[in-house]
Amino acid sequence: MTGSKQQPWIRNAAFDSALILAPAFIAVIAALLWHAYAPTNETPPWVWLLLVVGIDVAHVYSTLFKTYFRSSEFAARKSLFLTIPVAVLVVGILLFSTNAVLFWSILAYAAVFHFVRQQYGFLRIYSRAEKLQRPLLVNIDKLMVYGCTVLPVIWWHLAGDRTFNWLIKGDFLITANPELAAMILICLYATWAIWSLKECWVIFSTKFINLPKVLIVLGTALSWYFGIVHFNSDAVFTITNVVAHGIPYLGLVWMTEQQDKHHAQRFIEHGPNIQTVPRLKISITAMLPLIIALAWFEEGLWSGLIFKEHGLFFPGFDALPHISNHLILSIAVPLLAVPQATHYIIDGFIWKQK
């Protein structure tokens, strides 16, 4: 009924299970253990270093291996890859100089959209070979993925009592409304019920369980619910938010880098000038150290120049001057945010397939 050969794996059962499907469940288990045994709801510095720098910021830089470090991809979309960072910087400077809070809000909502769309992308990939592709069934799957991600975020806006933030304090436009928040939770539970009934009917009708699709949906639902709604903990939110998103993304980049040789024909199609296209070959074993180093360097600049936090982890950066002048901040903050914002935008192009 669930034969591995029939399952629509992205690569294979071992790879998908370890790097795509398991992280959300591991994050939820870790969150439950943290809530049960940890003495605080705050994110300890070492957890911040491991998860935020080592996974969250690092996964942003892993995009380099799918874009600027991959000659075939760079040749195909050179104008796009060169235009987006410049446009991001210009728009960021205009936004921050006008309204710093608006800058952070837009960046936070762009991050939310990026996280949500990743889960929808996994859903579509794992649904590609299903026998029943009726519009109603497909739309219920969409409703489930968007519902179990977007509804907790809407509830967060309305609950008004969360002790954590997506990026920085005040980035979400919070409007406390307990009655409406309760209605949102009812909608969330109804979404779970509708999808569960639909999935049971599909399994009964086809005598087949699309295991990776079911697991990606359940992992998404659990990680977003426990991270945002069930627990009011900065540490729990960080664990569920970062691990469930960052590890699968890193896994995808690692997989595509391994399969780089299969892109040769695409590269050749761009004409006889392929020798003139920049090419940077870096072994996959160097990927993690490189992106973690880039993440550490970026966070060191944020710490030294902007926030003056976590200085213990960034020796030498604490000697940098703290920027307080609004004009200089209007350039420095958007400039430091370019990798993050570029990642959010460019990600919408590089993973799409016909």
pTM recorded for the entire structure = 0.90
- Per-residue model confidence (pLDDT) at position 140: 97
Cβ atoms < 10 Å from Cβ of 74: 19
- Per-residue model confidence (pLDDT) at position 269: 44
Round to whole Å and give the CA distance between 149 and 194: 16
- Per-residue model confidence (pLDDT) at position 350: 86
Label residue 265 exposed, middle or buried (CB < 10 Å: 0-12, 13-18, 19+): exposed
Tokens of 278: 């920049």
Residue 125: closest CA among 5, 213, 240: 213
Round to whole Å and give the CA distance between 129 and 152: 30
- Per-residue model confidence (pLDDT) at position 254: 87
- Per-residue model confidence (pLDDT) at position 214: 97
Round to whole Å and give the CA distance between 21 and 15: 9
Round to whole Å and give the CA distance between 264 and 262: 6
Could you list the mean pLDDT of each consecutive 10-residue stretch along the chain, which spans 354 residues?
Answer: 73 94 97 90 93 96 90 87 96 96 97 96 92 90 97 95 92 93 97 97 93 98 97 96 96 80 43 40 74 97 94 92 95 97 93 69
Round to whole Å and give the CA distance between 8 and 214: 12
Q: At what angle do helices 211-224 and 234-258 cross, to 10 degrees?
A: 150
| Integer angstrom CA distances of residue 165 from 28, 62, 71, 81, 240 | 19, 24, 38, 30, 13
| Integer angstrom CA distances of residue 97 from 90, 312, 329, 333, 341 | 11, 30, 8, 10, 17
Round to whole Å and give the CA distance between 117 and 113: 6
Cβ atoms < 10 Å from Cβ of 42: 15
Q: Which residues contact 7 (CB under 8 A, 6 or more apart)?
A: 13, 210, 211, 212
Residue 121: closest CA among 202, 206, 212, 58: 212
CA–CA–CA angle 311, 34, 248 (5° rounding): 75
Label residue 341 exposed, middle or buried (CB < 10 Å: 0-12, 13-18, 19+): buried
Round to whole Å and give the CA distance between 62 and 245: 13
